[in-house]
């Protein structure tokens, strides 16, 4: 038995969760993550059940010079939940949530998904801003900033973070908040997984739903430029309670669309009104008159149902490649570019969306938290998505080409959670003017750069 194998046996004896090794029955499924392009083989997967398990795994990685990756929900496009030949600190079994409706707070563990958090909070008619796909991990989403349907009204996910329990590179468990380790708390809010393993998050909650006005209004691609121009004007005047995103893709076989439009290029306006549905109805009426709609599916439904509405388009196990820009304005030249590239989509699952932020997301100062891009009014993401490795080159090429074509209209920033593994040259753009301060915090809490399987900030 090798020295490392002997140490692994010792780790197993003190570890409360599971230690999975190559050859174990569960190892193959445990190393697979959402993006099927990621095919990594860690030496050890430490499937933690408690914070002390996380401490043991972090200490083991540091003391044995092993590369360390951290898995929360395992949804990150870049595949940073896995590594080759090192140890994965797997939090996926740590999902417990505790809601205090009186103080409007929730505590939730680092392996939880958005569905876990929404289910716990909506039982009390409460929510915090999260993303748009219920299988996304709370930890990764939050540490990169986090935005979704409630963000125009209530801010980024990080703007609602009250505290975090963190296991540092030294194996210490610290509580980070505005009053305890405030430098670490600042860095966690947008600095990614660079500073430790967050085992528990505390969020501020808001009264939401449980039933809200939401849905889709669909137009043909032939009307896309006019629809986008009117959408731009509409979004500039929309109240913060109303979020409307624009998605361009081929039509899925949705029952409310004519059969002859299935598989044809479309523009979809996806909307949610985070208030009384009766007040929202007249506000969304202009969106039905931007042209001749192909169909719509809009009504009052549970917020949790809308949070899961896009899950079928983002299922586990497809090949994914993304490119992203932030925009402070949407120019006509950008509309021309997006229509050109939607007409030449390489495969039906590929799409381009513009997520409307603005509103409350712009109110904090750029240096109030590590997330700096408070000027962004829209976040664009190019979803390259397909099933077969043989299609890699054309789908990746399409995404990169459109990324270049849209770059002249972008604001220069980028949302760190949308960066792929090959975009190390954009790390400074992702962290913006806060990079140097982040590097100083990194030096304090992780001077040896143990946490480097991420969009890495080197110790300053």
Task: Provide mean pLDDT across the span 313-323.
Answer: 93
**Cα–Cα distance for residue pair 122/99, rounded to 1 Å:** 10
CATH class of domain segment(s) 97-208+432-445: alpha beta
The pLDDT mean for the chain works out to: 96
Q: Which residues pair with 106 in a beta bridge?
A: 99, 203
Task: Provide mean pLDDT across the span 247-253.
Answer: 96
- Pick the residue with more confidence: 4 or 378? 378
Kindly report, residue by residue over 234-244, the tens digit of the pLDDT: 999 999 999 99
| pTM of the full structure | 0.95
* Per-residue confidence (pLDDT) for residue 202, from 0 to 100: 98
For residue 287, is pLDDT > 80?
yes
Q: In the chain, what's the furthest Cα-to-Cα distance?
A: 72
Q: Which of 5-14, 124-133, 372-381, 401-410 has the lowest mean pLDDT?
A: 5-14
**Cα–Cα distance for residue pair 10/275, rounded to 1 Å:** 54
Kindly report, residue by residue over 103-147, the tens digit of the pLDDT: 999 999 999 999 999 999 999 999 999 999 999 999 999 999 999
CATH 3.40.462.20 placement within the chain: 211-424
Q: How would residue 4 be classed by pLDDT, with cut points 50, 70 and 90?
A: confident
Question: How does DSSP assign 16-38, residue by residue?
Answer: SSEEE-TTSTTHHHHT--SSTT-
CATH 3.30.465.10 placement within the chain: 97-208+432-445
For residue 1, is pLDDT > 60?
no
* Per-residue confidence (pLDDT) for residue 74, from 0 to 100: 82
Q: How would residue 423 be classed by pLDDT, with cut points 50, 70 and 90?
A: confident
Task: Provide mean pLDDT across the span 14-20.
Answer: 96
* CATH classification number, 211-424, choose in 3.10.110.10, 3.40.50.300, 3.40.50.720, 3.40.462.20: 3.40.462.20
What is the 3-class SS of 146-181, one letter each residue?
CCCCCHHHHCCHHHHEEEEEEECCCCCEEEEECCCC
Nearest to 165 by CA among 147, 146, 184: 184
For residue 304, is pLDDT > 70?
yes
**Cα–Cα distance for residue pair 406/288, rounded to 1 Å:** 27
Kindly report, residue by residue over 46-93, the tens digit of the pLDDT: 999 999 999 999 999 999 999 999 999 888 899 999 999 999 999 999
Q: Is the domain 3-90 a CATH 3.30.43.10 member?
A: yes
């Amino acid at each position: 038995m090798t020295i490392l194998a002997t140490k692994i046996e010792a780790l197993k004896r003190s570890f409360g969760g599971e230690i999975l090794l190559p050859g174990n029955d569960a190892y193959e499924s445990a190393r697979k993550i959402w993006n099927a392009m990621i095919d990594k083989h860690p030496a050890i997967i430490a499937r933690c059940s408690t914070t002390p398990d996380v401490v043991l795994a972090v200490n083991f990685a540091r003391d044995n010079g092993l590369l360390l990756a951290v898995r929360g929900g395992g949804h990150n496009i870049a595949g940073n939940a896995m590594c080759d030949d090192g140890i994965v600190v797997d939090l996926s079994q740590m999902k417990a949530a505790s809601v205090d409706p009186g103080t409007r707070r929730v505590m939730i563990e680092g392996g939880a998904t958005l569905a876990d958090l929404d289910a716990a909070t909506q039982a009390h008619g409460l929510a915090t801003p999260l993303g748009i796909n219920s299988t996304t991990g709370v930890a990764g989403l939050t540490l990169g900033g986090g935005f979704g349907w409630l963000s125009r009204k209530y801010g980024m996910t990080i703007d609602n973070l009250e505290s975090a329990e963190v296991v540092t590179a030294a194996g210490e468990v610290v509580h980070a908040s505005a009053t305890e380790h405030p430098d670490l708390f600042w860095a966690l809010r947008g600095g990614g997984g660079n500073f430790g393993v967050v085992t528990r998050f505390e969020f501020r909650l808001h009264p939401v739903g449980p039933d809200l006005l939401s849905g889709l209004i669909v137009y043909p691609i032939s009307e896309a430029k006019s629809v986008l121009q009117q959408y731009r004007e509409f979004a500039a005047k929309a109240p913060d309670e109303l979020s409307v995103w624009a998605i361009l893709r081929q039509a899925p076989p949705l029952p409310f669309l004519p059969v002859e439009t299935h598989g044809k290029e479309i523009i979809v306006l996806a909307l949610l009104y985070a208030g009384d549905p009766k007040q929202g109805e007249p506000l969304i009426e202009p969106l039905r008159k931007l042209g001749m709609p192909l169909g719509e599916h809009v009504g009052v439904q549970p917020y949790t149902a809308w949070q899961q509405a896009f899950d079928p388009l983002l299922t586990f196990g497809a090949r994914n490649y993304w490119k992203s820009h932030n925009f402070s304005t949407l120019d006509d030249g950008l509309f021309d570019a997006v229509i050109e590239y939607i007409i030449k989509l390489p495969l039906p699952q590929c799409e381009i969306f513009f997520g409307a932020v603005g509103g409350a997301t712009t109110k904090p100062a750029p240096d109030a938290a590590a997330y700096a891009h408070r000027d962004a009014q829209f976040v664009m993401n190019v979803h390259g998505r397909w099933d077969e490795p043989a299609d890699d080159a054309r789908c990746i090429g399409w995404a990169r080409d459109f990324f270049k074509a849209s770059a002249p209209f972008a604001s220069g920033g980028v949302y760190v959670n949308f960066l792929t593994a090959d975009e190390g040259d954009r790390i400074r753009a992702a962290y913006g003017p806060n990079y140097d301060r982040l590097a100083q915090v990194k030096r304090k809490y992780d001077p040896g750069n143990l946490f480097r399987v991420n969009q890495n900030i080197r110790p300053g």
